[in-house]
């Protein structure tokens, strides 16, 4: 039997919510588990149960380990030219009737590697790997070209713009993936598709009209963008949207 015992939320830097419940547990071995309380902490896709005994003893080690996790990603910060931003503003206006969460212009980036919730003590070894990658990669350039949508026509999820040429970007993504795999970070399951996310689709009222507008703006493009660095970011989730904190910048080889 599960009943709400205490509902006051706990928010740590806007990232965590804790809810306390009272739980009746079947205890066939008589070890005294009945009437334990527990916390369920929600953070993105992570759930960490923390148990309280009948004597209200909290096992703090797991709790503080959870609180020390940081949501990390490595990315190239993009500062598009005014002409591209004007095209994006036009697209936003045409789709203003739809529920789409557009990326703010000062947060536009190309993700190289998404780490997700990561133990703080692993950050130094991540930085070491990324430094090794940066010293082996020459400065390169690309432009943003052609609008695309991830997901099916029945369930579109993400509006994105492609990258041309993409060979250099795909190479650095592959190198990062392989080097991180050596120290225990599993490769992303999806194929490497160099792209820049423009907006995440929450709900569409008219999917047919949405696709027509996407097709009308298919040829969106930017001027050439020179890439001479990438950044390890911490993403702090807040009610008004994520805040990106730059932890370390990595200069590419000239």
Active site residues: 109, 195
Q: How far is it, in rounded angstroms, from Cα 218 to Cα 148?
A: 7
Q: Are 159 and 149 in contact (CB under 8 A)?
A: yes
Q: How far is it, in rounded angstroms, from Cα 147 to Cα 161?
A: 4
Query: Is the Cα torsion angle 28, 29, 32, 36 positive or negative in sign?
Result: negative
Which value, to the nearest 10 degrees, does the dihedral of the CA atoms of residues 202, 206, 208, 209 take?
-100
Long-range contacts (CB closer than 8 Å, 24 or more residues apart) made by 241-250: 241/104, 242/107, 244/107, 244/109, 247/72, 247/123, 247/127, 248/127, 248/130, 250/130, 250/131, 250/133, 250/134
Q: How far is it, in rounded angstroms, from Cα 178 to Cα 172?
A: 10
As a whole number of angstroms, the longest Cα–Cα distance in the chain is 71
Q: How far is it, in rounded angstroms, from Cα 45 to Cα 167?
A: 32
Any bridge partners for residue 217, and if so which? none
Q: What is the CA radius of gyration of the chain?
A: 22
H helix intervals, the chain: 60-67, 82-94, 123-136, 167-182, 207-216
């Amino acid at each position: 039997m599960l009943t709400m015992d205490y509902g006051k939320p706990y928010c740590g830097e806007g990232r965590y919510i804790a809810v306390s419940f009272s739980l009746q547990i079947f205890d066939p071995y008589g070890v005294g588990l009945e009437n334990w309380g527990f916390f369920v902490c929600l953070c993105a896709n992570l759930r960490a149960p923390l148990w309280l005994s009948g004597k209200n003893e909290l096992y703090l080690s797991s709790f503080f380990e959870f609180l020390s996790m940081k949501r990390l990603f490595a990315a190239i910060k993009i500062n598009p030219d005014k002409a591209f931003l004007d095209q994006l503003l036009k697209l936003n206006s045409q789709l203003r009737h739809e529920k789409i969460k557009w990326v703010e212009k000062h947060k536009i980036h190309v993700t190289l590697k998404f780490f997700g919730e990561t133990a703080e003590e692993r950050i130094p070894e991540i930085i070491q790997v990324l430094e090794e990658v940066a010293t082996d990669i020459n400065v390169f350039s690309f432009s943003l070209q052609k609008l695309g949508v991830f997901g099916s026509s029945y369930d579109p999820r993400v509006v994105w713009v492609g990258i041309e040429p993409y060979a250099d970007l795909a190479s650095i993504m592959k190198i990062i993936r392989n080097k991180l795999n050596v120290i225990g970070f599993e490769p992303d399951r999806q194929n490497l598709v160099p792209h820049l996310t423009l907006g995440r689709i929450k709900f569409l009222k008219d999917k047919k009209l949405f696709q027509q507008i996407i097709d009308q703006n298919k040829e969106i493009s930017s001027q050439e963008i020179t890439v001479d660095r990438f950044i390890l970011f911490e993403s702090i989730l807040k009610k008004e949207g994520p805040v990106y904190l730059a932890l370390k910048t990595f200069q590419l080889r000239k």
